[in-house]
């Protein structure tokens, strides 16, 4: 029964689509066509689960007339075996099947991401002067922020790599600051209250840079009772 379930799904996905292609010649149907390797993940993702078992368990043990339903236990057992076989055989191999299908990049999603990025950046640039004046931000800092927004709205070729390099540099500088802060505390030039206050600022800066790196300074801070 497991072979029949898996084989039927494979047979369906490699027969019916070709029949649809033969009968439906509309341009929009052609746009939805995918290759045979890309169809394999759809055919492979036929794992059975709780719904199949629930359907099998709905078979009554005794009907209204009082007769026992024969082979009910066999139906439940076969369904359970099919669930186990499809989950243990098809499930672990599904990521590999998807990778080998080599699906093309979703151009619609990319276009929508670009549209969202451009509109958000434009709105932020329009609101930046008024907000900067309201919060008393210096002009130099406002200009730097505007330039950063511009770079994110329409990244130039190679800008992504440059931004990553700058981010790594800023992370390295954060580590230098942490080491210096620890040395000052160890030398007795600052106390633990100042240490924790500055570390909170550095932690927020690290979160802003989008990293989850586990630095040695934090590790030593947890091991030192004086910092707790």
CB 61 within 8 A of CB 69: yes
Between the CA of residue 189 and those of 176, 195, 216, what are the distances in Å? Answer: 17, 10, 21
Q: 57-61, 78-82, 138-142, 149-153: lowest mean pLDDT where?
A: 149-153
User: Among residues 172, 167, 174, 175, which one has the least CA distance to residue 210?
Assistant: 167
The percent of residues in the chain predicted with pLDDT above 70, rounded, is 89
Phi, psi of 68 (to 5 degrees): -80, 135
* pLDDT (tens digit per residue) in 200-227: 988 988 888 774 443 334 434 444 434 4
Q: Which residue did the predictor score with more confidence, 38 or 114?
A: 38
User: Among residues 32, 42, 33, which one has the least CA distance to residue 10?
Assistant: 42
> How crowded is residue 206: how many other Cβ atoms within 10 Å of its Cβ?
19
In sequence order, the β-bridge partners of residue 62 are 68
CB 100 within 8 A of CB 106: no
> How does residue 228 score in pLDDT terms, banded at 50, 70 and 90?
very low
Q: Which residue did the predictor score with more confidence, 92 or 222?
A: 92
Residue 153 zone, left/alpha/beta (φ > 0; ψ -120 to 50; rest): alpha
Instruction: Please report the pLDDT score of residue 117 as a whole number.
Output: 81
Write down how long the chain is: 228
- Residues whose CB falls within 8 Å of the CB of residue 98, separated by 6 or more in sequence, listed in order: 41
Listed by start position, the domains of the chain span: 2-104, 107-154, 158-228
pLDDT at 76 over 60: yes
């Amino acid at each position: 029964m497991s072979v029949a379930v898996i084989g039927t799904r494979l047979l369906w996905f490699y027969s019916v689509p070709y029949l649809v292609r033969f009968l439906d010649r509309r341009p929009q149907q052609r746009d939805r066509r995918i290759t045979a390797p890309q169809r394999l993940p759809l055919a492979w993702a036929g794992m059975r689960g709780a719904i199949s078992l629930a359907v099998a368990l709905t078979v009554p043990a005794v009907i209204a007339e009082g007769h026992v339903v024969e082979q009910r236990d066999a139906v439940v057992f076969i369904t359970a075996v099919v669930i186990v076989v499809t989950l243990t055989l098809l499930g672990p191999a599904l990521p590999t099947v998807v990778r080998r299908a080599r699906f093309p990049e979703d151009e619609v999603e990319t276009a929508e991401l670009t549209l969202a990025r451009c509109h958000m950046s434009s709105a932020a640039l329009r609101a930046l002067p008024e907000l900067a004046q309201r919060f008393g931000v210096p002009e130099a800092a406002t200009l730097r922020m505007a330039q950063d927004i511009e770079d994110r709205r329409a990244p130039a070729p190679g800008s992504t790599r440059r931004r990553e390099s700058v981010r790594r540099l800023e992370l390295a500088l954060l580590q230098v600051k942490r080491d210096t802060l620890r040395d000052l505390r160890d030398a007795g030039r600052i106390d633990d209250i100042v240490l924790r206050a500055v570390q909170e600022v550095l932690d927020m800066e690290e979160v802003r840079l989008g990293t989850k790196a586990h630095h040695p300074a934090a590790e030593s801070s947890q091991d030192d009772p004086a910092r707790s």
